[in-house]
Amino acid sequence: MNETLDPSNWDEMRQLGHLMVDDMISYLSTIRDQPVWRPIPDQVKETFSSTLPHNPTNSLAVYDDFKKNILPYNTGNVHPRFFAFVQGTGTPMGVFAEMLAAAMNPNLAIGEHSAMYVENQVLDWFKEFLGYPADASGILLSGGSMANFTALSVARNNILPDKIRKSGLRAQEKQLVAYCSTESHSCIQKSIEALGIGTDNLRKIQVNEAFQIDVAALKRQLQLDKENNFLPFCIVGNAGTVNTGAIDPLDELLAICQSEKIWFHVDGAFGALAKVVTSLSDALKPIEEADSVAFDLHKWMCMPYEAGCVLIKNKKAHRDTFALNPSYLHTDPGGLAGGPEPFNNFGIELSRGFKALKVWMSIKELGSLAYIRMIQKNCAQCQYLGSLISTHAPLELMTPVSMNIVCYRFQFPTDDLTVQNNNNKKLLLELQNQGIAAPSSTILNGHFVIRVANVNQRSQQIDFDILVKESLRIGHEISNNLL
Ligand SMILES: *Cc1c(COP(=O)(O)O)cnc(C)c1O
């Protein structure tokens, strides 16, 4: 009757906590001396197939197991030379905030408690940061995918607010169609599929040589769709594509949406925040007038995973998409069930963690200007890397550097594209396996390219010197059949 899951000896638990804090501070402060990434040995992988533990293990032993089999085989995105996918670095304060949030353990579905106010304040701060209207609604989510999904849900329901919730898509006799570019992130397609609209009704418009949506082609498709009795309901603009960091001509997309009365959504997973960089602010300014914008906080805001955000200009449309008021979630004028409007009215999730705390504490600790400097730094580092590559043949820049992404390859002396691609694949794997740096890859116009996406607050100029030097070394070793 009296058993709990709390420790029998709180002082021992406290000591373990101190040890963990010391170890993690050592881990992060010396991360530069570690390999960026290392392969996981088979005997370590085998430890993950043990059966369900029925009986207790001493807490220190559990922690030792973590240090032995989990910690060393991390993704590597905490390292200054991690440039794969688009993965943020995190900060020490973010680590501690996660612990504090877990200790408080509030649920941000509903209610009168401090965490609800913290999240609302954080949302207000991002509206200010992006110049988005102060009366917009928003919600923190797990990441860009959920933020895009949430925005597209509102865009879809906004066509026939009550009827689509009640009768589904058949409430609307015309087929809904949405538009994005061939460079848009896969989460846009997944959202469109999950929303019942179907991939066939997502028009992926071709891009120009700068990987931006071809606006003339978009207009032609839009016209064709209207003539064929489709109902265009949403255009998704890219503020920083995942492949190359391209920014669609958002001003032109906005103008089309305004004249056609179509929802304008911006996927700005990392790029929206680059609006604060002077050289990019004009291109990204139309975000201020978009109907919705999705962006991540675990990328350029350096929050520990995971956190993303969606802002929606029309609060009523947002609420009308998700709000339900069952008796067990009734709100009261006072008491625990009082408080700000439930977040449950603005998304699919009911139970939600206190991810707002890491955001709130980090922004307070560092100030928004520090983030602006980091975003500027990462863009400048990519310009620097681009210029290094351009002046270090046989390295070759595969697309002009826009924003924070650099795509390059080693030009091997061969006319065979398959050999060229395979050798570059090998070069990338060696960079990773040797623990030197962790770019990732993509395919641009049939060419396999090594792709550096830099949202790394820890990286310094020397890291790009190292990347270029080692890419050249490994490339020559492959050329000379030494690898
Ligand atoms: C990362 C990314 C996403 C997906 O965000 P997650 O946080 O990984 O869910 C969507 N769009 C773009 C452009 C991205 O870079």
Residue 296 CA: nearest ligand 1 atom is 7
Based on its alpha-carbon atoms, the radius of gyration of the chain, rounded to whole angstroms, reads: 24
Residue 144 CA: nearest ligand 1 atom is 5
pLDDT tens-digit readout, 342-364: 999 999 999 999 999 999 999 99
pLDDT at site 77:
97
CA–centroid distance, 184 to ligand 1, in Å, is 10
Q: What is the mean pLDDT of the chain?
A: 97
What is the per-residue pLDDT for 406? 98
Tell me whether residue 438 is exposed, middle or buried, using C-beta atoms within 10 angstroms of its C-beta: 0 to 12, 13 to 18, 19 or more: buried
Q: What is the mean pLDDT of residues 408-437?
A: 97
Report how far ligand 1's centroid is from the alpha carbon of 394 (Å): 32
pLDDT band with cut points at 50, 70 and 90 for residue 81: very high
Q: Find the 20 Cα to ligand 1 centroid distance in Å.
A: 31
| pLDDT recorded at residue 203 | 98
Cα(456) to centroid(ligand 1), Å? 16
pLDDT digits (tens, 9 = 90+) for 276-314: 999 999 999 999 999 999 999 999 999 999 999 999 999
Atom of ligand 1 nearest to the CA of 239: 13
SS (H, E, C) 328-364: HHCCCCCCCCCCCCCHHHHCCCCCCCCCHHHHHHHHH
On the question of pLDDT at 249 being above 90, the answer is yes
The pLDDT of residue 333 is: 85
pLDDT reported for residue 188: 98
- Going by CA atoms, what residue is nearest to atom 3 of ligand 1? 144
pLDDT for the residue numbered 326:
85
Atom of ligand 1 nearest to the CA of 185: 11
3-state secondary structure 4-57: CCCCCCHHHHHHHHHHHHHHHHHHHHCHHHCCCCCCCCHHHHHHHHCCCCCCCC
Mutate to test the pocket of ligand 1, among 149, 183, 242, 265 (most ligand atoms within 8 A of CB): 242
Q: Does domain 99-366 have CATH number 3.40.50.11030?
A: no
Mean local confidence (pLDDT), 469-476: 98
User: From the CB of residue 281, how many other CB atoms can be counted at a distance below 10 Å?
Assistant: 12
> Which residue has the CA at smallest separation from atom 12 of ligand 1?
269
* 36 Cα to the center of ligand 1, angstroms: 22
Nearest ligand 1 atom to alpha carbon 145: 9
Task: Work out the average pLDDT over 167-177.
Answer: 93
pLDDT at 301: 97
Ligand 1 center from residue 308 Cα (angstroms): 9
* Residues with a CB atom less than 6 Å from ligand 1: 86, 143-145, 185, 187, 240, 242, 267, 269-270, 296, 308
Q: Which DSSP letter does residue 456 get?
A: -
**Mean pLDDT calculated for residue range 122-139:** 98
125: number of Cβ within 10 Å: 15
Tell me the torsion sign for CA atoms 192, 197, 199, 201: negative
pLDDT band at 482 (very low <50, low <70, confident <90, very high): confident
Centroid of chain to Cα 179:
21
> Residue 192: what pLDDT?
98
Q: How far is the CA of 181 from the centre of ligand 1 (A)?
A: 15
Write the residue with the smallest CA distance to atom 14 of ligand 1.
269
Reduced to 3 states, what is the DSSP secondary structure of residue 375?
helix
* pLDDT greater than 90 at residue 37: yes
CA of 266 to the centre of ligand 1 (A): 12
Distance from the alpha carbon of residue 145 to the mean position of ligand 1, in angstroms: 6
Average pLDDT over residues 152-161: 94
Ligand 1 atom nearest the C-alpha of 146 is: 9
Beta-carbon contacts of residue 239 (< 8 Å; ≥ 6 apart): 247, 248, 250, 266, 267, 268, 271, 272, 274, 275, 284, 287, 293
Q: What is the whole-number distance in angstroms between the Cα of residue 205 and the centre of ligand 1? A: 19
Report the separation in Å between the CA atom of 143 and the middle of ligand 1, taken as the mean of its atom positions. 7
What does the pLDDT look like over 179-228, one tens digit per residue?
999 999 999 999 999 999 999 999 999 999 999 999 999 999 999 999 99
Predicted confidence at residue 322, as pLDDT, reads 96
Q: Which residue among 185, 287, 300, 455 is best mutated to probe the pocket of ligand 1, counting the most ligand atoms within 8 A of its Cβ? A: 185
**pTM more than 0.85:** yes
State the average pLDDT over residues 5-22: 97
Q: What is the pLDDT of residue 161?
A: 80
* φ, ψ of residue 200 in degrees (nearest 5): -60, -25
The whole-number pLDDT of residue 438 equals 98
Nearest CA to ligand 1 atom 2: 269
Atom of ligand 1 nearest to the CA of 306: 7
Residue 459 has pLDDT above 90, yes or no: yes
Going from N- to C-terminal start, the domains of the chain cover 10-73, 99-366, 369-482
Return the best residue to mutate from 284, 296, 301, 442 for the ligand 1 pocket (most ligand atoms within 8 A of CB): 296
Vertex 422: Cα angle to 410 and 424 (nearest 5): 25
Query: What's the gap in Å between 140 CA and the centre of ligand 1?
Result: 14
Q: Topology of domain 10-73, per CATH?
A: dopa decarboxylase, N-terminal domain (1.20.1340)
What is the position in ligand 1's atom list of the atom closest to the CA of 184? Answer: 13
- Give the pLDDT band (50/70/90) at residue 327: confident
| 369-482 under CATH 1.10.150.20, yes or no | no
Using pLDDT thresholds of 50, 70 and 90, give the confidence band for residue 483.
confident
> 99-366 with 369-482: one CATH topology?
no
